[in-house]
Amino acid sequence: MDENYVLEIEDASWGQQVEDSEKPVIVMFYSPTCPYCKAMEPYFAEYAREYRGSAIFVRLNVVTNPWTAERYGVQGTPTFKFFCHGKSVWEQVGQIYPSILKNAVRDMVQHGEECIRKTTPVGQDITGYS
């Protein structure tokens, strides 16, 4: 992977790198032994280079960082999630056509600030229990 454009993050740096980011963040959840992850990495790095001024690209190893993977319901790798102002706004699981990922990245970047308006915050006090 092109480390100049894709940051490797961990559970400990997740908040600062993803939740506190002013720019949209595209995350690739991966595992080192996942062949589909290896197939997608060159495309992810290419898009990171292409859109480096508009979004932040990070990847997180689910084996060594299980807390964040569990928190966001990651059940398989690769899982791509897009975050806007710390909120997950799009996700795709598995090896996909690179063009699908690229189009999603382009749309995320083009509608950067608008993406937050497409989400509805749910308060932590809302539960199904009385």
> What gap in Å lies between CA 101 and CA 68, rounded to an integer?
22
Q: pLDDT, tens digit, for every residue of 76-108?
A: 999 999 998 888 888 999 988 899 999 999 988
- Whether residue 1 is predicted with pLDDT greater than 50 in this model: the reply is no
- Is 125 a domain residue? no
Among the residue ranges 21-30, 60-69, 115-124, the one predicted with the least confidence is: 115-124
Q: Once rounded to an integer, what is the mean pLDDT over residues 111-121?
A: 61
Residue range 31-79, pLDDT digits in tens: 999 999 999 999 999 999 999 989 999 999 999 999 999 999 999 999 9
- Where in the sequence is the domain holding 103, given as residue range(s)? 7-118
The first and second tokens of residue 58, run together, are: 């990070």
Both tokens assigned to 81: 């999630």
Strand 87-93 vs strand 25-30: parallel, antiparallel, or unpaired?
unpaired
Residue 58 maps to a domain? yes
What is the domain-level CATH number for residue 68?
Answer: 3.40.30.10
Q: How many CB atoms lie within 10 A of CB 51?
A: 20
What is the average per-residue pLDDT within 5-31?
A: 94
Does 50 reside within a domain? Answer: yes
Residue 2 lies in a domain: no
Cα 37 to Cα 59: distance, rounded to the nearest angstrom: 11
The residue among 127 and 58 whose pLDDT is bigger is 58
Q: How many domains does the chain have?
A: 1
Q: What is the reported pLDDT for 2?
A: 41
How many other CB atoms are there within 10 angstroms of residue 1's CB atom?
A: 16
Q: Determine, yes or no, domain membership for 129.
A: no
Give me the half-sphere count of Cα atoms (radius 13 Å) on the Cβ side of residue 53. Answer: 2
pTM of the model: 0.84
Decide which of 31 and 111 is more confident: 31
Tokens of 73: 């319901």
Judge whether 73 lies within some domain.
yes
Six token digits for residue 79: 């899982």
